[in-house]
Amino acid sequence: MKLLKSHIKIIATGMVVLLISLIVFGAYSVLTQGNRWFSSSANTYLREMKTNAIPGNIMDRNGTVLATTDAQGKRLYHQDGSVRNAVVHVLGDRTNNVGYGVESFMSNYLYGFNVSYFQRLAHALKGEKLHGNNLTLSIDSNLSRYVSSIFPTDKKGAVIVMNYRTGEVLSLQSFPTFDPDNITESVKTDPLQPFWNNATRWNSAPGSTFKLITLAASLKNIPGAAVQEYVCTGELPFADSVMRDAGNAIHNKLSLSKAFTLSCNITFGKLAQQMGDAALASTSKDFGIGDYFLFQDFVVENSVYPQKNRTDKEIAWTGVGQSALQLTPLHMCMIASAVANDGVMMEPKLLLKAVSINNEIKAQLVPKQYLHPLSKADADTIADYMNQVVKSGTGTRANVAGHRICGKTGTAEVDSQKENNAWFVGFIDEPQFPYAVCVVVMDAGGGGAVAAPIAGKIFSAITGSPLTAK
Amino acid sequence: MATAKHNPGKKMIGAIALFVASGFFLLALKNMDIQSLIMAFVVPLIFLASSALIPKVFRADSLLLSLVNLLCSLGVLVLYRISPEKGINQAINYGAGVLAMILCMLAIRHLSRFKPLLVIAAGGALVLMALPVVIGREVGGAKAWIALGGLNFQPSELVKVVLVVVNAYLLSKRKVLLSIIFTGICLVFLLLQKDLGTALLYFIVSLLMMYVSTGSFALLGAGFGGAAAAGILGYSWLKSMGFAHIDRRITAWTNPWGNYENEGFQTVQSLLAIVNGGLFGLGLGAGNASKIPVRETDSIFPFIVNEFGIILGICLIILYIIIFIRGIGISSRCNHRFHSLLAMGCSLFIAFQTFVIIGGNINLIPITGVTLPFISYGGTSLLSSLCLIGLLQGIESINEDHIAQDAKMATMGDELP
């Protein structure tokens, strides 16, 4: 019998653990993903629940009111159509066409669902509607409107401007955009899908902007990588094909810095092969590729590193940002931000403040470190290289006179498209302008020719200094 | 020596009765009918009769008893909220279930010759299990139901009581092989019925009972290994046998949000019911979980959380844990292997069934169509759960008798010169 009892104890403990795991798993999922479920378009009850509450105002960082509710309960957006267009993917719209906009994703604050059951009961008994909180976002509507005005009108793409020290997002835009006050049939059926948020929910090969990560991995894994001399013969042969550089360029002997500045595929393809898939995958993981992002203020599609056990050819192509790599523009902006912020990647933030109708502060911005993928020394080296890119390499059209601008261009090939996707990531390396930018223009051409000038105009608008290049 | 009596006190029983009654009063206000008012008296009455009177007649574990009764009456209340007709049916089931529970208590206390009875029960069980395969009707992809004399019921629910008793008996006599054979035949029938959830319950509970009896980790490992192998090997074959609904359930598990309008619908609706309810719930009768499929059986847990809140949901799981621990306590106080194994089997069945269904609801594991013990709608399900509790209580009363006897002997010993 004694033996039996000891067996009972083992099984009983196991079963209790199993039952407790229900509570732990349930609580964990609700805490980390509850708000995503609640505000998803699958939640048809949300619309019903919204009728019992008056949503608060939404303001930008300068106090410009972007959304408000009139006495009749109608939701009103900014009177200027160009502002409405510029912030619609952050804000969302009345009928949740844009998934996870503030109007739905922050409905807990905005509609006051965050009040206690008893307060809710008291309101219901008095026959009053709940009053939601007024929200202040980190968005700068002037900057957003400007960005929207310089983006090519007939192209898909995304632009993000964020503060790399705090993670505050000043502008997050997806193109083409639309007017939430005028959703016509042609908007709904547009093949460019204006409702989709390309900045957070579209992921694709980042092209040569990914060399940031290949460079970081090389500095970490290959001793003397920065001082070594490289040879570019213009070709990197594989079993069944050959990798070439853009425009079939042959760079001959060159330093790592030069290879980065000229965005030499051969050198970076070889570096990826030399360190191997495991090292590149590990550094990619350090930068958050493969993470299931659970940010407080944003729903971001995860970025994907290609499957393991691949050929030399695939590894080389990954090193230059092609193959099956997939990153979102917001994530690419975070990666550039990590380089700018001494190797620390901040969580992107949108909500500066939520204030209740009684003037209680319900939420406030708390900058939060997300990852720490780089040492300060490596971050400084990469920033120097990125500065060279803008001064004398592929990204000169992003340069602004009198400022230290860092950047990297990318030209990503996508099989199904006629033209390449143009990418640019970069930042201003100055304490008074701690801003990083990511620009993507799809199906448009080269990163240096198409995306860099847009980033340059943004840098110029932020600093108030003119562009160096015409 | 283990403490003999744990009296939860009249206050707790009173509070529970009041809680249930006030729930029905609330529904009476909402529905504006007399029927709800009648229920407000009848259901607490069954609860009080069962929780307060039984411990007066038998030496039962009254905490265990009142918790089980709490869950049952909460079930009636919630089902009445979903549909008054189902609530009334469930109240009748509850009353009948209490009687069945008492019968089981009496049976385990007073029957001394089990063997011939068990042979008949085991034979009957196998016949019952074969019936749905032949004349069953399909509900939710599984063919586990039969209609007899106007009554719809699930034989596998009744047979689970027989399974636990037969296994406990065989294993107490160390007839492991026979126990494996009996369980195996039951499993084959369940697989033919395409009732995977119940098959999982039968398998795990029997396996764990075998481990408790033998202490053989090899057996445990072989069981799990065999199941995994059978799962992988049988997967494609089973699919060709018409098990298409497994595939859908796996997709529903791995990516419910990607398929929230079809495969993932049930899971997504469950999760939404939980987050829409929030910590404190939307209130009885005021919930918005009207779209969850099978909310009176499989999805009753999220429905309750929607109206009563996540906090109550956690409390419910804790109640099941307490019920399990009380059951284990009874099992480890037994003087006989048979009683100990039986008490273990009963407790395991209820606990694991709770895990399987709530785990499915919160998407920890794929959703399967098993009921939440004591709460879900269904006569056979409630009946069998209460029978398991009856067996546990009967064993507890035997334990208490032994303890009382020992105490008496001890005092008698003191008095001897």
pLDDT of amino acid B237: 74
**Which one, of B47, B37, B62, B49, lies nearest residue B15 by Cα?**
B47
Q: Rounded CA gap, B227 and B163, in Å?
A: 19
Q: Tell whether B161 is covered by a domain.
A: yes
Question: How many A-B residue pairs are in contact by the CB < 8 A criterion?
Answer: 117
Q: Tell whether B276 is covered by a domain.
A: yes
CA atoms within 13 A on the CB side of A428: 24
Q: What is the mean pLDDT of residues A20-28?
A: 95
Placement of tokens 């063919």 in the chain: B143
Contact flag A26-B313 (C-beta cutoff 8 Å): yes
**Which one, of B232, B139, B231, lies nearest residue B191 by Cα?**
B231
Q: Name the residue facing B324 among A16, A30, A34 (closest C-beta).
A: A16
> Range with the lowest mean pLDDT among A343-352, B242-251, B265-274?
B242-251
Q: Which of B272, B320, B353 to mutate to test the interface with A (most CBs of A within 10 A)?
A: B272
Contact flag A16-B321 (C-beta cutoff 8 Å): yes
* Residues in chain A closer than 8 A to B341 (CB atoms): 4
If pLDDT is split at 50, 70 and 90, which confidence band does A282 have? very high
Task: Return the number of other C-beta atoms located less than 10 Å from residue B232's C-beta.
Answer: 9
Asked whether residue B358 carries a pLDDT value surpassing 90, the answer given is yes
Q: Tell whether B4 is covered by a domain.
A: no
A46 Cβ contact partners less than 8 Å away, ≥ 6 residues apart:
A38, A39, A96, A104, A107, B276
Query: B245 and B218 in contact (C-beta within 8 Å)?
Result: no
Q: Name the residue facing A29 among B313, B335, B362 (closest C-beta).
A: B362
By CA distance, what is A120's nearest residue in B?
A: B282
> Range with the lowest mean pLDDT among A270-284, B71-85, B263-277, B283-297?
B283-297
B398: left (phi over 0), alpha (psi -120 to 50) or beta: alpha
Contact flag B260-A48 (C-beta cutoff 8 Å): no
**Which one, of A120, A107, A97, lies nearest residue A41 by Cα?**
A97
Asked whether residue B350 carries a pLDDT value surpassing 60, the answer given is yes
Contact flag A20-B321 (C-beta cutoff 8 Å): yes
Q: Rounded CA gap, B302 and B375, in Å?
A: 12
pLDDT of amino acid B412: 72
B310-333 and B265-277 helices, crossing angle to 10° = 100
CA distance A287 to chain B (A): 25
Contact flag A16-B276 (C-beta cutoff 8 Å): no
**Which one, of B332, B354, B362, lies nearest residue B344 by Cα?**
B332
Does A23 reach chain B within 8 Å, measured CB to CB?
Answer: yes
Q: What is the mean pLDDT of residues B131-153?
A: 74
For residue B335, the enclosing domain spans 9-415
pLDDT of amino acid B228: 87
Q: Name the residue facing A11 among B211, B310, B359 (closest C-beta).
A: B211
Chain segment A207-254, per-residue pLDDT in tens:
999 999 999 999 999 999 999 999 999 999 998 899 998 888 899 999
B281 Cβ contact partners less than 8 Å away, ≥ 6 residues apart:
A117, B287, B305, B306, B307, B308, B309, B310, B312
Query: B395 and B330 in contact (C-beta within 8 Å)?
Result: yes
Asked whether residue B241 carries a pLDDT value surpassing 70, the answer given is no
Q: Tell whether B330 is covered by a domain.
A: yes
- In chain B, the percentage of residues whose pLDDT exceeds 70 is 93
Does A467 reach chain B within 8 Å, measured CB to CB?
Answer: no
Q: Tell whether B3 is covered by a domain.
A: no
DSSP for residue B258? G
Burial (CB count within 10 angstroms: exposed 0-12, middle 13-18, buried 19+), residue A459? buried
Tell me the residue type at A37.
W
Q: Rounded CA gap, A170 and A407, in Å?
A: 19
Contact flag B288-A29 (C-beta cutoff 8 Å): no
* Residues in chain A closer than 8 A to B291 (CB atoms): 44
Asked whether residue B369 carries a pLDDT value surpassing 60, the answer given is yes
The residue count of chain B comes to: 417
The distance from CA B406 to its chain's CA centroid, rounded to whole angstroms, is 33
pLDDT of amino acid B289: 83
pLDDT of amino acid B3: 44
pLDDT of amino acid B7: 57
**Which one, of B330, B336, B338, B327, lies nearest residue B114 by Cα?**
B338
pLDDT of amino acid B415: 56
CA distance B242 to chain A (A): 30
Q: Name the residue facing A45 among B288, B320, B364 (closest C-beta).
A: B288
Contact flag A25-B268 (C-beta cutoff 8 Å): no
Q: Tell whether B115 is covered by a domain.
A: yes
Q: Name the residue facing B208 among A11, A23, A44 (closest C-beta).
A: A11
pLDDT of amino acid B149: 65
Chain segment A373-386, per-residue pLDDT in tens:
999 999 999 999 99
Burial (CB count within 10 angstroms: exposed 0-12, middle 13-18, buried 19+), residue B410? exposed
Does A125 reach chain B within 8 Å, measured CB to CB?
Answer: no
* Residues in chain A closer than 8 A to B283 (CB atoms): 121
Placement of tokens 């794929």 in the chain: B366
Q: Rounded CA gap, B332 and B262, in Å?
A: 47
- In chain A, the percentage of residues whose pLDDT exceeds 70 is 98
Higher confidence at residue B248 or residue B386?
B386
| Total count of domains within chain B | 1
Chain segment A95-148, per-residue pLDDT in tens:
888 878 998 889 888 988 777 667 767 777 777 777 889 999 999 999 999 999
Query: A424 and A409 in contact (C-beta within 8 Å)?
Result: yes
**Which one, of B349, B340, B338, lies nearest residue B169 by Cα?**
B338
By CA distance, what is A22's nearest residue in B?
A: B359
CA distance A65 to chain B (A): 29
Query: B269 and B241 in contact (C-beta within 8 Å)?
Result: no
What integer best gives the mean pLDDT of chain B? 87
H, E, C per residue of chain A: CHHHHHHHHHHHHHHHHHHHHHHHHHHHHHHHHHHHHHHCCCCCHHHHHHCCEECCCEECCCCCEEEEECCCCCEEECCCHHHHHHHHHHHCCCCCCCCCCHHHHCHHHHCCCCCCHHHHHHHHHHCCCEECCEEEECCCHHHHHHHHHHCCCCCCEEEEEEECCCCEEEEEEEECCCCCCCCCHHHHHCCCCCCCCHHHHCCECCHHHHHHHHHHHHHHHCCCCCCCEEEECCEEECCCCEEECHHHCCCEEEEHHHHHHCCCHHHHHHHHHHHHHHHHHHHHHHCCCCCCCCCCCCCCCCCECCCCCCCHHHHHHHHCCCCCCEECHHHHHHHHHHHHCCCCEECCECEEEEECCCCCEEEECCCCEEECCCCHHHHHHHHHHHHHHHHHCCCHHHCECCCCEEEEEEEECCCCCCCCEEEEEEEECCCCCCEEEEEEECCCCCHHHHHHHHHHHHHHHHHCCCECCC
Calculate the CA dihedral of residues B361, B364, B368, B374 and round it to 10 degrees: -50
Contact flag A8-B310 (C-beta cutoff 8 Å): no
Contact flag B276-A21 (C-beta cutoff 8 Å): no
Query: A325 and A306 in contact (C-beta within 8 Å)?
Result: yes
pLDDT of amino acid B1: 36
Averaging pLDDT over each range in A447-451, B3-7, B228-232, which range is the top one?
A447-451
Does A31 reach chain B within 8 Å, measured CB to CB?
Answer: no
Q: Tell whether B17 is covered by a domain.
A: yes
Buried b or exposed e, range B262-293, using 16+ CB within 10 angstroms? ebbbbbbbbbbbbbbbbebbbbbeebbbeebe
Q: Tell whether B1 is covered by a domain.
A: no
Reduced to 3 states (helix: H, G, I; strand: E, B; else coil), residue B153 is strand
CA distance A43 to chain B (A): 7
Tell me the residue type at A153.
T
pLDDT of amino acid B4: 43
Does A369 reach chain B within 8 Å, measured CB to CB?
Answer: no
Contact flag A4-B337 (C-beta cutoff 8 Å): yes
Chain segment B5-34, per-residue pLDDT in tens:
455 578 888 899 999 999 999 888 888 888
By CA distance, what is B326's nearest residue in A?
A: A12
Contact flag B278-A117 (C-beta cutoff 8 Å): yes
* Residues in chain B closer than 8 A to A16 (CB atoms): 321, 324-325
Does A292 reach chain B within 8 Å, measured CB to CB?
Answer: no
Both tokens assigned to B279: 């910590």
The residue count of chain A comes to: 470
Query: B360 and A26 in contact (C-beta within 8 Å)?
Result: no
The whole-model pTM stands at 0.78
If pLDDT is split at 50, 70 and 90, which confidence band does A169 have? very high
pLDDT of amino acid B195: 84
Q: Rounded CA gap, B29 and A355, in Å?
A: 37
